[in-house]
Structure 1
Amino acid sequence: MKNTMSNTVTALIEIVEREAWLDLAVAAPADYVKSSKVSYTRLGAIVGIADLGVPITEFNRIFGLGIEKAVNEEELDQAISWMNEHATPTYALQVSPNALPETKLTEWIIARGFKNVGNGLAKFYRCSRLVEDHAIPTTLDVRLVEPHNAEEFGRVAQAGFGLPPTVIPYLSAIVGRPNWKAYIAYDGDIPVAAGAMYMDNNWAWLGIDATLPDYRGRGAQSALIKQRLLSGIKAGVIGFTAETGQPPEGQESTNKSYNNYHRAGFTKAYVRQNYKLEG
């Protein structure tokens, strides 16, 4: 998909997400780092994160290729070398449409044995305009997570994503951390859904959106999105971003996560592709 956003807005979208994931890795508890082999690196504008204990793309990928400046082949090789040493073999190099140098970057990546896999990630953008009431009301109660309830946040996110229980301390570590706000949606006193927001330089990334299977379709994520928008605007955020898997062409209307962000006033800015090693 051709990027209809300016290079500047694309860069801001990519940067705030990059910094959120880097900070999540930095915050990982020492015991989790040791047991799951969490590692991270910053190579100029490029950031790599790795987690051998959770062998999925979200926890093993490269951010920022060609975003703040054009990448050269030496820098690309350095990033790939680091990932080969630290990450699970299923790691991804993520490339936005405006990554520089245009055309050459993807050619270099493919020449090194990578191929474009899947439909990519739909990256969403929203400015700080008025937040409207959602079309799907909910009886669930959204609350800011305090440090004494951090594990509750991690447990809901882990269960909602279907990740191993060992990841709970990792996801819990953002609660109470500077730049982060974490929320839980409750059914009475039962925590049923989670969502987080990372804010930096008046931009915010919304992520870690997870709902327990029995509570899906009850408006939890819509309520969590609304609360984060209101909180972010109050804190001075001028631009919000989030992402979800890009559905197959023509099937966007059937994807709940995709629709949740559209209904909340987000626009799909572009699709970011995943490049993985063949075989």
Structure 2
Amino acid sequence: MVTSKTTYPPQLQIAFENAETQMVRDLFSSISERERDLLGMATLDVAGATLQLITHFPTLTWFNRTLGLGLSRPVTDDDLSDIQAAVRRSGASQIMVSLHPQAQPADLEARLLRLGALPTRALMQLGRDVASSPIPIPAGIEVREVGLDALDTFMEVFERGYGLSGDWRPMFQGILGRLPWHSYLAFQGDEAVGCASLAVFGDFGWLGNAAVVPQHRRQGVQAALIARRIQDSARLGAKYLLTQVAEDLPESPNPSEHNMRRAGFVTAYRRPNYLLPCD
């Protein structure tokens, strides 16, 4: 399902990127300085872009990447050197450079390849007009907005859903119950089986952190979490929704992209990604 066509104009594509950057900055700022230091978390302004780093998880490229590179001004060779130097100082050996379709200059991809950058799986920025057709919450699933008192349950569902363990708790204890964030648990009966987040910044609502425990997949839990967040985004005055997913490929399908497209999300733009060595 490689679907790259978009009806979103360039300026709105840039606004989507800026909204995602705002989300990342707000998320990182919600975490205590001590926890940020332990996880190697930082958002750095380098070369007109934002570098998002969590060096405690160096192989998770989603958390170690650029945002907005080449949008505020054309990227020079010195800019790329500055990015590599900043990543080295952080203790990491590489960063994922994400290229927005409006990034300048036109030969930026070729420059990255000359530096030894390797293409990796692209990210799809998906968008949806909040005012377009709503979708119903499937029967038998209750979605509740939760606060900090539900942190333990939220973390259990998130970690089971993604098969993760480790130091993820600080990523959520600063946002549960704090505006502009909204956190949700999905229940089947008395059991929490799914979780998700929504952050609303002006006209934009960002959807993420969605997970379903393995035994309850393909039962409409993701659809219920998406539907509730669409409803709440409309109530909170957002005009557009955005989310990021790894590109769905024939040899490597991504169910998350399928779920979003069934809920009315379309391609806002495709971001090719390159792993840039920095050591």
Class of the TM-score when normalised by the shorter of the 2 chains: 0.7 to 0.9
Report 1:142-157 matches (<5 A). 142-157=143-158
**Distance verdict in 2 for CA 1:214–1:32, change over 3 Å:** farther
Give the SS at the match of 1:165.
coil
Q: Which amino acid aligns with 1:76?
A: L
Q: Distance in 1 between matches of 2:71 and 2:45?
A: 14
Give the SS at the match of 2:230.
helix
Give the SS at the match of 1:23.
helix
Structure 1: unaligned runs, 5 residues or longer:
none
TM-score computed with the length of structure 1 as normaliser: 0.88
Give the SS at the match of 1:153.
helix
* Number of the residue aligned with 1:23: 26
Q: Which amino acid aligns with 1:6?
A: P
Report 1:89-238 matches (<5 A). 89-101=93-105, 103-118=106-121, 120-134=122-136, 137-238=138-239
Report 1:67-82 matches (<5 A). 67-82=71-86
Q: Is the 8 A contact 2:134 2:230 kept in 1?
A: no
Deviates more, 1:56-65 or 1:188-197: 188-197
* Number of the residue aligned with 1:272: 271
Q: Which amino acid aligns with 2:49?
A: I
Matched-pair identity in %: 25
Q: Is the 8 A contact 1:151 1:172 kept in 2?
A: no
Q: Is the 8 A contact 2:47 2:80 kept in 1?
A: no
Superposed CA deviations along residues 138-196 of structure 1, whole A, max 9, x for unmatched, are 42211111122234323322332222232123233211233211111122332221111
| 2:7 is aligned with 1:35 | no
Report 1:40-59 matches (<5 A). 40-43=43-46, 45-55=48-58, 56-59=60-63
Q: What is the aligned residue count?
A: 274
Question: 1:61, CA displacement in angstroms?
Answer: 1.1
Deviates more, 1:11-20 or 1:81-90: 81-90
Q: Which amino acid aligns with 1:43?
A: V
Q: Is the 8 A contact 2:154 2:195 kept in 1?
A: yes
**Distance verdict in 2 for CA 1:153–1:35, change over 3 Å:** same
Question: 1:256, CA displacement in angstroms?
Answer: 2.1
Question: 1:90, CA displacement in angstroms?
Answer: 4.8
Structure 2: unaligned runs, 5 residues or longer:
none
